[in-house]
Amino acid sequence: MRSEQCDVFIIGGGPAGATVGTLLAQSGLNVVIAEKESFPRFHIGESLLPHNLPLLDQLGVRSDIQSTSIVKRGIEFVSPTHGKSVRFDFARALDRRHPYAFQVRRSEFDEILLRNAESKGVEVLEKCRVTAVELEGSSTPTVTAQIDGSKRSWKARFVVDASGRDTVIANKLRTKERHPRNASAAVFGHFRNARRLEGDAEGNISIIWFDRGWFWFIPLADGTTSIGAVCAPEVFKSRKGDMEAFFNELIASSPEVSDRLKDAVREGGVTATGNYSYLSSQTSGRNFLMVGDAAAFVDPVFSTGVYLAMRGAFQAAGAVKACLARPERQDKLLKRYDRNIVKAADAFTWFIYRIRQPAMRDLFMAPRNMFRVEEAVLLLLAGGIDRRFRVQARLYFFRGIYYLTKGIHFCARLTCRKDKGAQAGLTPSMGQ
Ligand SMILES: Cc1cc2nc3c(=O)[nH]c(=O)nc-3n(C[C@H](O)[C@H](O)[C@H](O)COP(=O)(O)OP(=O)(O)OC[C@H]3O[C@@H](n4cnc5c(N)ncnc54)[C@H](O)[C@@H]3O)c2cc1C
């Protein structure tokens, strides 16, 4: 089998792969994207963040995407334990330049991005599954793929792994590290006639807590609503019937969700997926890097996945261009890239990993804008993670309030236990 040549070979044509491809082709490089599916294809992850929009502008696709989307102005958190819902509007964030985002059908969104890459000169090969990547022993890695029943191989100056949760290179190098405390699974479907919020809040995402986890409620432009339940893996393991019956049972157990769905009809099937968070301990190496979910995946509660993938893709494109132009500086450039990827995910994870804690929920359900802390948290929820001191200081202040609230919860639990203990001790003597 004779090897073909290219400057950059990209595994996967999702938002990360299509974005890196577009940017590299625009700078004159010869780029190939291999995508195992044929687009448009279904993908979960339909809620974008406001800070994703400038990236769409830079790629020149915002208006195409807007025409197939609904505007998302904020997030509604619904907590039955607190007996209320709270709405956060991005327009009130500390930086008000990005007041809204879009809810998208990923089949349409991803196709617009991939066709845009193609129009900028990327060679896009669909139904082309990468089966092997040889990274060592040569200055030019070799990629082998299966397409139309035959094998093809490429020698590339640089390989970008944008294969999403298939994590082609991280699996090969065994560098994928699961987060020890953040495992969950999701089951989801699409519904017509779900009751949405009213007025300009119609496109908002709702995060609805229930006793076994949380639901997402994402309105789409075509009138359907994407609804999914995220629970601990044990909840899934304990299910008795099939996935559809299990999903119906979860919905029925949440009065808030079942009320919004009382006139709704499900369209299409029910899908389940594992959801655990991971980070590859190495996100780059000689002549290759990983981007998007191929490098790291964080729990989807704040809808960060597509934004992190596309933001990472801009950084990846910069790193690849620099590495090809100055190979002698590659180690340094890739170290900086690794740091940026970890930093971006870390900006969200402190909040994400604590959102299940009662203390964090209390703070989210009773927001107070003391010293503009609420506005700083809103900026984070909008994707504003390029921290300036005025934002960072407020987020640290929020962390302080969180730990204080947690302390108060702890003392309350302790007092409650003592009271119960005293009562248990008193009861027999009272009866004597
Ligand atoms: C339950 C759930 C809910 C989510 N909700 C949201 C949300 O609301 N908002 C949000 O922003 N994110 C959400 N996400 C995360 C989001 O889906 C991902 O972060 C995002 O799709 C990452 O983009 P990507 O380009 O890195 O990977 P992907 O979009 O997965 O693209 C990877 C591409 O690579 C292709 N591929 C894989 N292996 C190969 C191979 N061997 N050869 C060739 N091609 C290959 C795949 O077919 C795919 O098209 C959610 C995720 C889950 C699991």
Render pLDDT for 125-176 as a digit per residue (tens, 0 to 9): 999 999 999 997 667 899 999 998 999 999 999 999 999 999 999 999 999 9
Pocket test for ligand 1, best of 293, 315, 341, 352 (most atoms within 8 A of CB): 293
Q: Is the domain of 22 the same as that of 143?
A: yes
Cα 306 to Cα 17, 115, 183, 293, 411, distances in angstroms: 11, 17, 19, 9, 40
On whether both 338 and 249 belong to a single domain, the answer is no
Identify whether 416 is part of a domain.
no
- Spatial distance between the Cα atoms of 265 and 283, rounded to a whole number of angstroms: 43
Q: How confident is the model at residue 425 (pLDDT cuts 50, 70, 90)?
A: low
Tell me whether residue 75 is in a domain: no
Condensed to tens digits (0 to 9), the pLDDT of residues 365-393 reads 998 888 899 999 999 999 999 878 889 89
What's the structural domain count of the chain?
3
Pocket mutation for ligand 1, best pick of 70, 109, 163, 349 (most atoms within 8 Å of C-beta): 163
**Whether residues 161 and 266 fall in one domain:** no
- Tell whether 169 is covered by a domain: yes
- Give ∠ CA 91-94-99 in degrees, rounded to 5: 25
**What sign does the dihedral 238-241-244-245 (CA atoms) show?**
negative
For residue 264, is it within any domain?
Answer: yes
pLDDT over 50 (residue 428): no
> Which amino acid residue places its CA nearest to atom 41 of ligand 1?
130
CATH number at residue 346: 3.50.50.60
| Backbone φ/ψ region at 303: left (φ over 0), alpha (ψ -120 to 50), beta | left
Residue 404 lies in a domain: yes
In a domain, 422, yes or no: no
Long-range contacts for 389-395 (Cβ within 8 Å, ≥24 apart)? 390/94, 391/94, 391/95, 394/94
Same domain for 29 and 128, yes or no, is yes
Q: Torsions phi, psi of 431, nearest 5?
A: -75, -15
- Ligand 1 atom nearest 230 alpha carbon: 1
Is residue 95 within 8 A of residue 381, CB to CB? The reply is no
pLDDT digits (tens, 9 = 90+) for 314-371: 999 999 999 999 999 999 999 999 999 999 999 999 998 898 888 999 999 998 888 8
CATH at residue 256 = 3.30.9.100
Ligand 1 centroid distance, CA of 14 (Å): 6
**Would residue 220 count as lying in a domain?**
yes
Q: Which of 32, 36, 59 to mutate to test the pocket of ligand 1 (most atoms within 8 A of CB)?
A: 36
CA of residue 2 to ligand 1 center, whole Å: 32
Average pLDDT of the chain? Answer: 93
Residues 15 and 147 in one domain: yes
Q: What is the pTM of this model?
A: 0.94
Q: Which amino acid is at 335?
A: K
> Which pLDDT does position 414 carry in this prediction?
84
40 shares a domain with 7: yes
Q: Which residue has the higher pLDDT, 38 or 357?
A: 38
Instruction: Give the Å distance between the CA of 137 and the centre of ligand 1.
Output: 31
DSSP 251: H
- Best of 113, 151, 166, 311 to mutate for ligand 1, by most ligand atoms within 8 A of CB? 166
Atom of ligand 1 nearest to the CA of 186: 1
Report how far ligand 1's centroid is from the alpha carbon of 37 (Å): 12
Q: Which of 241, 273, 305 is the last residue of a domain?
A: 273
| Residue 348 CA to ligand 1 centre (angstroms) | 18
Based on the domain organization, do 29 and 111 belong to the same domain?
yes
Which atom of ligand 1 is nearest to 205's Cα?
8
Q: Can you tell me whether residue 305 is helix, strand or coil? A: helix
Range of the domain at 315: 2-68+106-179+279-352
Q: CB within 6 Å of ligand 1 — which residues?
A: 11-17, 34-37, 43-48, 129-130, 162-166, 168, 186, 228, 273, 275, 292-294, 300, 303-307, 309
Residue 373 within any structural domain of the chain? yes
**pLDDT one-digit tens code per residue, 226-282:** 999 999 999 999 898 899 999 999 999 999 999 999 999 999 999 999 878 999 999
Domain boundary among 317, 336, 352: 352
Among protein residues, the one with the nearest Cα to ligand 1's atom 51 is 45
The answer on 166 and 221 residing in a single domain is no
Q: Are residues 309 and 390 in the same domain?
A: no
Considering the domain architecture, whether residues 59 and 154 belong to the same structural domain is answered as yes
Using left for φ > 0, alpha for ψ between -120 and 50, and beta otherwise, residue 268 falls in: left
pLDDT(431) > 50? no
Top mutation candidate among 42, 160, 227, 306 for ligand 1, by most atoms within 8 Å of CB: 306
Chosen domain end from 243, 273, 303: 273
283 and 372 both lie in a single domain: no
Residues 44 and 123 in one domain: yes
Tokens standing for residue 171: 């699996």
